[in-house]
Amino acid sequence: MHIVMVEPEIPGNTGNVARLCAANKMTLHLVKPLGFSIDDKHLKRAGLDYWHLVDVQVHENFDEVLEKYKGHRFFYLTTKANQCYADIQFQEDDMLVFGKETKGLPEELLKQYPDSCFRVPMAEEARSLNLSNTVAIVSYEALRQLGFPGMAKGGVGIDHLT
């Protein structure tokens, strides 16, 4: 499973997603331009000491991701979709694509792939969910459908809250 963050802006969100990817053995793709430096202390802090467990790939643009991962299925998460993420029948090599915090994914991308756009349901009055929370919601549904491959299925290991 692959998590693709297109032009992320907030280092704490990206760090949280990196930690999630480490815990779930997912590849993290960061698409430039990034709103921070990879060496950002807030990014490193949010990811804690999990960075050595994360396969992080940095791409110059989204077209580079599309080219490198031809043959993979891409799902675009956006508040502008009508379809629910829970309706996706996930496969292990799927690419879950998320946009930047302030604007989401580019309109032209969403218009190009309307049947691959999905949303997380929420109250109409709410504008959006936090990006790292949305990644967690969708990725855990994918993992649940796949039977949590390579993961311990016992209790949650919380050593401390951050």
The answer as to whether 152 is a domain residue is: no
SS3 100: strand
* Binding site, annotated residues: 77, 99, 120, 128
pLDDT digits 0-9 by tens, 56-104 = 999 999 999 999 999 999 999 999 999 999 999 999 999 999 999 999 9
**Residue 100 within a domain:** yes
pLDDT at 156 over 60: no
In a domain, 131, yes or no: yes
53: its two tokens: 């467990």
Q: Which amino acid is at 152?
A: A
Q: Is residue 160 part of a domain?
A: no
Query: What residue numbers bound the domain in which 101 lies?
Result: 2-145
* Residue 150: inside a domain: no
In a domain, 95, yes or no: yes
Residue 157 domain-assigned (yes or no): no
- Domain assignment present for 155: no
**Which CATH number belongs to the domain containing residue 65 in this structure?**
3.40.1280.10
Inter-residue contact 133 to 110 (CB < 8 Å): no
Binding residues for S-adenosyl-L-methionine: 77, 99, 120, 128
User: Do residues 10 and 101 make contact, with C-beta atoms less than 8 angstroms apart?
Assistant: yes
Look at 48 and 136; give whichever has higher pLDDT.
Answer: 136
Q: How many domains does the chain have?
A: 1
